[in-house]
Amino acid sequence: QVQLVESGGGLAQPGGSLRLSCAASGFTLDDYIIGWFRQAPGKEREGVSCIFGKDGSTYYADSVKGRFTISRDNAKNTVYLQMNGLKPEDTAVYYCAAGRFSTLRLMCRLDYGVGYWGRGTLVTVSS
């Protein structure tokens, strides 16, 4: 049974940092693209960053480039999102997703190929 479990959300001050984790089970990262998506209240879901499990190649949305870093630990079957320089507009529920038969850009920009979603973790950036 495929499962994605997010953790690490919480409250951070503007300029602060958080690290999200996505623990995967039921499949191996090598065969999938793993992505982080977010949805703020009243807004559409958007792709934040995606990583190809096999070779670690990455994609970032322009809004987080230079501030967020996605990484994976295939031995732990876990993907991380290090978020630095947090802004109030980063406040959202962050979801982890896994997909195949797609590209990093298509999956992150259009959800193309996503087969599994986690339940999300709330990130709030406020002073």
Q: What pLDDT does residue 101 have?
A: 87
Lookup: tokens for 8? 């690490």
Per-residue pLDDT of the chain (127 residues; tens, 9 = 90+): 899 999 999 999 999 999 999 999 999 988 899 999 999 999 999 999 999 999 999 999 999 999 999 999 999 999 999 999 999 999 999 999 999 988 999 999 998 999 999 999 999 999 9
The answer for residues whose C-beta is within 8 angstroms of residue 115's C-beta and 6 or more apart is 2, 98, 99, 100
Q: What pLDDT does residue 75 have?
A: 93
Q: What pLDDT does residue 55 have?
A: 92
> What does the alpha-carbon distance between residue 62 and residue 48 come to, in Å, rounded to a whole number?
9
Q: What pLDDT does residue 66 have?
A: 97
- Chain centroid to CA 117: 11
> What does the alpha-carbon distance between residue 85 and residue 111 come to, in Å, rounded to a whole number?
26
